[in-house]
Amino acid sequence: MSNSKFNRRALLAGTASVAGLAALPALPANADVSQQAVFNSVAHWGARSPNGTPRVIWSRPNKIIIHHTVYPNTTDYSVAQAYRHARQVQNLHMNSNGWIDTGYNFIVSRGGHCTEGRTGSLPRMEAGSAFIQGAHTAGQNAQSIGIAAEGSYHTGAAIPGNQWGAMVVVCAYIMNKYNIPSSQIFGHQNYSATSCPGSWQQRLPQLRSAVNNVR
C-alpha cells in the first residue's frame, strides 16, 4: 500500500532503543500488515531519473539483506527528512559510486518512513512475481531485496523504536508478497567483510522473530 500511515501498534514509540523492546508494545500476532505498511515511491520523494534501465529479475527473491546508510543519526524523524535522506543516498550512489540509481531497493528512515530506493522496486514488489536488481551486496543482488536503515550503527548506536517497528512491518509485507520465509533475513555482514549494518546485525534473531509474529 503506497503513501498510507503505519498502524501505530507497529511502531515502538519515541526514541526508545531496541534494547528495551521487551517492555514496549509490539504488533499483535497475525496482524494484517497490508493495512500497516507504507511505501513512499520515488515520485513522492523527488528522485532523479536513473542513468540507465534498472534490471528486472523475472523470479522472486529468496531473502532480505539489511544495511545501514552510514549517515548521521538524526533526531529529525519527519517524512521530510526521510525524503531528503533518500535524495542524499541516491546522489551519493549515482555521483560517487557511479551506479545507475540508488543501490538499495528500500530505505527505512529513523522516523519510521519507508522510501522506495531503486526505481521500479515498489511496483515490482507489489506485483510479487519479479524484482528490481539492486547494488547493495556483492554476489547477492540477483536474489535478494536490499533494505537500508537510515543512520550509522557500526559503533553500536541504539535503533530508534519507530525505525525498528517500521522495519518489522516492511520486511513482513515484502516477505508476504514474495513468499519468503521469515528466517531469510540477513545482514550485509553475512556476505561481506564489513561493519554494516552494525547494531542491526546483532538484532537479526529478534527481527526475524518479530517479523514472523506479524505474518
Tens digit of pLDDT at every position of the chain (215 positions): 444 333 433 333 222 333 333 333 344 455 566 556 789 999 999 999 999 999 999 999 999 999 999 999 999 999 999 999 999 999 999 999 999 999 999 999 999 999 999 999 999 999 999 999 999 999 999 999 999 999 999 999 999 999 999 999 999 999 999 999 999 999 999 999 999 999 999 999 999 999 999 98
Give domain status of residue 12, yes or no. no
Confidence at residue 37, expressed as pLDDT on a 0 to 100 scale: 77
Give domain status of residue 1, yes or no. no
Give domain status of residue 109, yes or no. yes
Number of independent structural domains in the chain: 1
Confidence at residue 34, expressed as pLDDT on a 0 to 100 scale: 58
| Cell digits of residue 140 | 547477492
Give domain status of residue 20, yes or no. no
Query: Which residues span the domain enclosing 120?
Result: 31-46+55-213
Confidence at residue 64, expressed as pLDDT on a 0 to 100 scale: 99
> Which CATH number covers residue 78?
3.40.80.10
> Which residues 6+ apart lie within 8 Å of 176 measured at CB?
33, 34, 215
Task: Name the pTM for this structure.
Answer: 0.87
Give domain status of residue 23, yes or no. no
Give domain status of residue 9, yes or no. no
Secondary structure string (H, E, C) spanning the chain: CECCCCCHHHCCCCCCCHHHHHHCCCCCCCCCHHHCCCEECHHHHCCCCCCCCCCEECCCCCEEEEEECCCCCCCCCCHHHHHHHHHHHHHHHHHHCCCCCCCCCEEECCCCCEEECCCCHHHHHHHCCCEECCCCCCCCCCCEEEEEECCCCCCCCCCCHHHHHHHHHHHHHHHHHHCCCCCCEEEHHHCCCCCCCCHHHHCHHHHHHHHHHCC
Give domain status of residue 169, yes or no. yes
Condensed to tens digits (0 to 9), the pLDDT of residues 15-53 reads 233 333 333 334 445 556 655 678 999 999 999 999 999
Confidence at residue 33, expressed as pLDDT on a 0 to 100 scale: 62
Give domain status of residue 81, yes or no. yes
